[in-house]
Amino acid sequence: MTDQGQFDAITNFLQSAVETGEIPGAVFWLSRKGEVLYHNAFGWQDDKQRFPMTVDSLFRLKSMTKLVTTIAILTAIEDASLSLMDPLKKFIPEFGDLKVISDPESGGDLVKAHSDITIYHLLTHTSGLCYGQGGKAIQSLYNDAGLYFDIFFRSPLSTTEVVERLATLPLLFQPGTNWAYSWGSDILGRVLEIIDNKQLEHVFYERVFRPLGIKNIGFSLGEKDQNRMAQPRSEDRCNYFGGDGTVDNTPFYSGGEGLVSSAADWGQVVESVLGFNRSNSLISPTSVRFMLSDHAGSFSSGQFFNLQEAYSYGMGTYLKVRNGLSTNPAHIGEFGWWGSWGTHFWGDAKAGLAGVFLMQKADPARYYCETIKYQVYQALKC
């Protein structure tokens, strides 16, 4: 690890945020071309119990999980277990009779889908599925089905039941004609279970975690690891985390939001995409190039796309496609994603950087992620 003095601004920034009570705690991990430059913990893992944060503390990754689902799907495409062009109904027949809502706001008639949902549509959020956003009528349908956003730690449903309920709902738009953030990764998780004939936790282990040699990651870690979980403040638990904020052994293995990890282990997943150590890569350069291509295109200026103007979407990650029109100094080609409970990762091949920022407070997460990122590029002069 290099001298961390060049990152004093980051250290002081996060220490101050803890001391003033703005955040309970955080962990930041940074590497460049496979060399760890910075790995530090701040504040409290559990401020109620007064457990200090450590670099090995575990966090709920939420939607960062989508990166692992994408990687696992691409390994299956590489070994010809499935194709990007495969229709979803080939694996889950319930998706064979698709309907599209005519007016997401007021409802109206349902019309027949013009085409099938494909694996490609699910990977790129162009399937017509959503999280219920887009209008009052479609939001009500998702809520009535018990498929509201952020259900993972509170749902008694199994993965199969979640997917079966999704199959009964109308699409927000015709497949392939728009972009909307969606349950697509959860359905891809179920596809992986079907083609590998294993529960998703075992699929992820075989296709991703074991090849990388990482162990501090999973859907629900063992009893011995519960004391390593970063807990939100008491006042935040009902608002953002549900119940008391603890991780249970839900049967819902969510390919969209379910994983728990340490910063360093997640950093290895990001580095595997950057490919600085080819022997530790999970997918081929062909798949990486394809994954980090602009798959949203003109859809990124549409009504359902909610990233800054400098960004589009690849597969499982955002993708920076221009300089300016963002609060982020990373180079064009930067990829990454957030978790809705305060987490973020990014990779920048041009700068050789992989960064993981984890904290257990939702609202200010974007502010801290972007501020730290600017300080990293300034310190490294890249």
Per residue in 176-218, pLDDT (tens digit) is 999 999 999 999 999 999 999 999 999 999 999 999 999 889 9
pLDDT computed for residue 251 by the predictor: 57
Confidence of residue 59 (pLDDT cuts 50, 70, 90): very high
Give the CB-side neighbour count of residue 45, counting CA atoms within 13 A: 20
How far CA 108 is from CA of 100, 137, 179, in Å, comes to 10, 9, 21
For residue 1, pLDDT over 50 is answered with no
Residues 229 and 375 in one domain: yes
- Yes or no: say if 33 and 276 are a contact pair by the CB < 8 Å rule: yes
Confidence of residue 234 (pLDDT cuts 50, 70, 90): confident
For residue 108, pLDDT over 90 is answered with no
Within-domain flag for 263: yes
As a whole number, mean pLDDT of residues 114-127 equals: 98
Residues 250 and 332 in one domain: yes
pLDDT computed for residue 293 by the predictor: 97
Mind listing the pLDDT tens digit for each residue in 73-106?
A: 999 999 999 999 999 999 999 999 999 999 999 9
For residue 278, pLDDT over 50 is answered with yes
Domain count, the chain: 2
The beta-carbon contacts of 366-372 under 8 Å, at least 24 apart in sequence, are: 366/338, 368/14, 368/17, 368/23, 368/26, 369/338, 369/344, 370/327, 370/328, 371/13, 372/10, 372/13, 372/14, 372/28
Residues 272 and 344 in one domain: yes
- Yes or no: say if 332 and 338 are a contact pair by the CB < 8 Å rule: no
pLDDT computed for residue 248 by the predictor: 47
Residues 161 and 297 in one domain: no
Structure tokens at 293: 């291509």
Q: How far apart are CA 344 and CA 359, in angstroms?
A: 9
The one-letter code for the residue type at 133 is Q
Residues 19 and 158 in one domain: no
Residues 237 and 308 in one domain: yes
Within-domain flag for 307: yes
Residues 153 and 180 in one domain: yes
Using DSSP's 3-state secondary structure scheme, residue 43 falls into strand
- Yes or no: say if 60 and 221 are a contact pair by the CB < 8 Å rule: no
Within-domain flag for 89: yes
Name 39's bridge partners: 29
Mind listing the pLDDT tens digit for each residue in 23-37?
A: 999 999 999 999 999
Segments forming the whole domain that contains residue 168: 72-196
Q: Is 303 exposed, middle or buried (0-12, 13-18, 19+ CB in 10 A)?
A: exposed
Residues 126 and 231 in one domain: no
Q: How far apart are CA 311 and CA 334, in angstroms?
A: 9
Residues 24 and 131 in one domain: no
- Yes or no: say if 65 and 254 are a contact pair by the CB < 8 Å rule: yes
As a whole number, mean pLDDT of residues 349-354 equals: 96
Mind listing the pLDDT tens digit for each residue in 127-144?
A: 999 999 999 999 999 999
Within-domain flag for 218: no
Q: How far apart are CA 379 and CA 367, in angstroms?
A: 19
In sequence order, the 6+-apart residues with CB closer than 8 A to the CB of 159 are 186, 189, 190, 193, 199, 200, 251, 252, 253, 254
Mind listing the pLDDT tens digit for each residue in 244-258?
A: 445 445 557 899 998
Residues 123 and 164 in one domain: yes
The H or E element that residue 184 is part of is helix 184-196
> Mean pLDDT for the chain?
91
| Helices of type H across 213-281 | 234-236, 263-274
Query: Which residue did the predictor score with more confidence, 179 or 226?
Result: 179
CATH number, position 299: 3.40.710.10
Q: How far apart are CA 52 and CA 45, in angstroms?
A: 5
Residues 180 and 293 in one domain: no
For residue 239, pLDDT over 80 is answered with no
The percent of residues in the chain predicted with pLDDT above 90, rounded, is 77
Query: Which residue did the predictor score with more confidence, 382 or 221?
Result: 382
Within-domain flag for 56: yes
Least confident of 1-10, 20-29, 182-191, 262-271: 1-10
Tally Cβ neighbours within 10 Å of residue 93: 10
In sequence order, the 6+-apart residues with CB closer than 8 A to the CB of 132 are 138, 139, 141, 142, 143, 147, 148, 149
Mind listing the pLDDT tens digit for each residue in 304-342?
A: 998 899 999 999 999 999 999 999 999 999 999 999 889
CA 235 to chain centre: 25
Residues 190 and 234 in one domain: no
Within-domain flag for 117: yes
In sequence order, the 6+-apart residues with CB closer than 8 A to the CB of 187 are 88, 92, 122, 129, 163, 166, 255
Structure tokens at 145: 């089905």
pLDDT computed for residue 150 by the predictor: 64
